[in-house]
Amino acid sequence: MPVFIRDYTDFYSSKNHAFNVGCMFRDPATALNPNWTHLPVGYHGRASSIVVSGTPIRRPKGQITVDKVTPVWSQCNRLDLELEMGTIIGKSNKLGEPVKVNNARDHIFGYVLLNDWSARDLQVWEYVPLGPFNAKNFASTISPWVITPEALAPFKVALPEQDPKLLPYLQDSDLSSYNIDLKVVLKTPTLPAGHTIAVSNMKYLYYSVPQTIAHHTVTGCNLNVGDMLGSGTISGTKKEEFGSMLELCWGGKETIQLPNGEERKFLLDGDAIVLQGECKGDGFTIGFGDCEGTILPALDDSHFF
């Protein structure tokens, strides 16, 4: 691990991703909940299960439902990836003292690639009313290198104007992100070289990282050095830019075609996901190192009862 991560919060900062998921489970007219365009939605993740690239990921088991009323015991059958960026905090704020949005960049140490593995069938059953829990807490993978804002400065890009206008504490005078090319590569036991199933970019975020810091601390919540904030899945507007298999297979209604004839909707045992990110400069490249994890079979039931 490049740093000791004491605490972890995951946000939902890509409007394209939030809209896609909303369309799957509601409809385009109500895809975004009323609060989404007014604040960066987040949930408290689990720091203890964040692992560095190369660590195998065990398929989880838990409760799922077929009829939306009755639970059954099952392994996760809809294991997914989430293409994200992680922000490492490098400066603490005292309890009770919020960070102003236009000072928030001073609190950023650097960035990593982040795969927030997701058990979608566990998530559907558990998330009402308090959001994800077991569907997310079993593992998240980060890349081994922390890339500083100074290194990324040449690649800063403006984010689109936010509409409606946000409350004053979220009005970022330097509303921006970075032009980081992101890639999702799927390897299978019969396709060890891998195949790119999605490309995206950090510039597709709606909320800036300073806005997530300001919102996180607006109540006086204290962030500590080494804490990590996840961006949430980063998706573009085109299908090949969707940052999760949930979107790529559109909730299981479509298939992802691989060049060796295999098909996927969600991840199978033995599959590996590699996230890659790089910035192309004039004669140089800044990379993050691979963010990779391979899926291990679920434990047998003797480990549970």
Proportion of the chain above pLDDT 70, given as a percent: 100
17 catalytic residue (yes or no) = yes
Task: Report d(CA 250, CA 53) in Å as an integer.
Answer: 27
The pTM of this model reads 0.97
Answer whether residue 166 is part of any domain.
yes
Task: Report d(CA 229, CA 31) in Å as an integer.
Answer: 24
Answer whether residue 2 is part of any domain.
no
The catalytically annotated residue of 17, 107, 215, 216 is 17
Question: Among 228, 163, 232, which residue's Cα sits nearest to residue 202?
Answer: 232
Q: Quote the pLDDT of residue 25.
A: 86
Q: How many CA atoms lie within 13 A of 291 on its CB side?
A: 33
Domain tally for the chain?
1
Largest Cα–Cα separation, the chain: 58
Do 258 and 191 meet the contact criterion of CB atoms below 8 Å apart? yes
- The CATH number assigned to the domain holding 95 equals 3.90.850.10
Answer whether residue 85 is part of any domain.
yes
pLDDT, tens digit (0-9, with 9 covering 90-100), for 256-284? 999 999 999 999 999 999 999 999 999 99
Answer whether residue 174 is part of any domain.
yes
DSSP helix/strand/coil, 190: coil
Do 229 and 213 meet the contact criterion of CB atoms below 8 Å apart? yes
Q: Quote the pLDDT of residue 168.
A: 98
Range of the domain at 185: 8-300
Answer whether residue 28 is part of any domain.
yes
pLDDT, tens digit (0-9, with 9 covering 90-100), for 17-46? 999 999 998 889 999 999 999 999 999 999
